Amino acid sequence: MPVDRAHMIFDCQCGNALLIFLVLLVIAYALNARARFVIRCTLLYLTIMLNALVCMAICIPASFFGHACTVVFASMKILSRWTGINVETRYFDKVFSKQQSPCVVICNHQSALDTIVMAHAYPPRGTVMMKRSLAYVPIFNITAWLCSVIFVDRFNREKAMKAVEQCTQVMNKKNLKLWVFPEGTRNRSLDGMLPFKKGAFNVAVQGQIPIVPVVASSYKCFYSHNEHYFDNDGEIIIEIMDPIPTTGLTLDDVPALADEVREKMLVVYERITKEVNEKITLKRGGKKHE
């Protein structure tokens, strides 16, 4: 009996401590912008991990039909609704209904919020190229393997070029669309785009397959890692551009091709970012962010 009573007291104390912690968390979220940023970012990463965990089981049967990645991002689209981010996707059906053959889809890279962009703009029969370090993230790596993600060693040119050749063969054989962030790392400033690395363009040219640019507007109107804010009324516009052919190009043409595509994407980026800023300013009555 004394042991049972001790367990009851311990359980009660734990319950009270948890309740106090939750109350303090709610107060901090309501009153402190930095705390709100940390809490929402933590929830975002937990959402990504939860999505990977849920999809581990779902992707096993889906992988046999080549739809594992589609399942992952469809699930993420649902789980990320708590963020309050409104996403407008333009020209998805127009572009991908015509682009039935393999292609390389490239998108600007800003933060972990890119997973939400992918959830709204991920192409049918898609796969992803990611840096090799992500292959060692628990849970995430299993789901990535089920989705046939291609991991590339960015710091070993020989291995990277072999991966390009392997990637091209797999894409043509399975009729896949490869999603790549050509900047290689996140642009934390959320202004413009970093210089493009050549990997995605090497794949496109070597396979003689088109490039489909996907441009997401800047998140800066509702999110900033450097300034520590993450508001709950975000707006993102995603615009899918017309395919850019690579037929007849060689690897010698890749640097010029990468620069040309980046310039075209920057024009779209500036235009849709301006639209988003005007939209969110109107929504907030002129306020910058919460």
DSSP string for residues in 92-137: HHHHHTT--S-EEEEE---STTHHHHHHHHPPTTEEEEEEGGGGGS
pLDDT at residue 196 in the model: 93
CA–CA separation, 263 and 182 (whole Å): 13
Whether the CB-CB separation of 187 and 193 falls below 8 Å is answered with yes
Q: Give the CA dihedral 253, 259, 265, 271, nearest 10 degrees.
A: -150
The counts of H helices and E strands in the chain are 9, 9
The reported pTM is 0.84
Q: Other CB atoms closer than 10 Å to residue 162's CB: what's the count?
A: 13
Tell me how far CA of residue 95 lies from CA of 72, 214, 244, 270, in angstroms.
Answer: 22, 11, 11, 21
pLDDT at residue 1 in the model: 47
pLDDT at residue 32 in the model: 80
pLDDT at residue 127 in the model: 82
**Structural tokens at position 45:** 């990463």
**Structural tokens at position 3:** 């042991």
Q: Other CB atoms closer than 10 Å to residue 21's CB: what's the count?
A: 10
216 CB-near residues (< 8 Å, 6+ apart):
107, 108, 110, 114, 117, 121, 236, 237, 238
pLDDT digits (tens, 9 = 90+) for 170-185: 788 878 899 999 987 7
pLDDT in tens, the chain (290 residues): 455 665 566 556 666 666 776 777 678 677 788 889 999 999 999 998 888 777 776 766 655 555 667 777 888 999 999 999 999 999 999 999 888 899 999 999 999 999 999 999 999 888 887 677 777 777 667 767 767 777 766 556 666 677 777 778 878 887 889 999 998 777 766 678 999 998 889 999 988 999 999 999 999 999 998 899 999 999 999 999 999 999 999 999 999 999 999 999 999 999 999 999 999 988 888 666 65
Q: 149 forms bridges with which residues in the sheet?
A: none
Spacing of C-alpha 200 from chain mean position = 16
Q: What does DSSP assign to residue 219?
A: S
CA–CA separation, 28 and 290 (whole Å): 15
Give backbone dihedrals phi and psi of 216, rounded to 5 degrees, phi first.
Answer: -105, 135
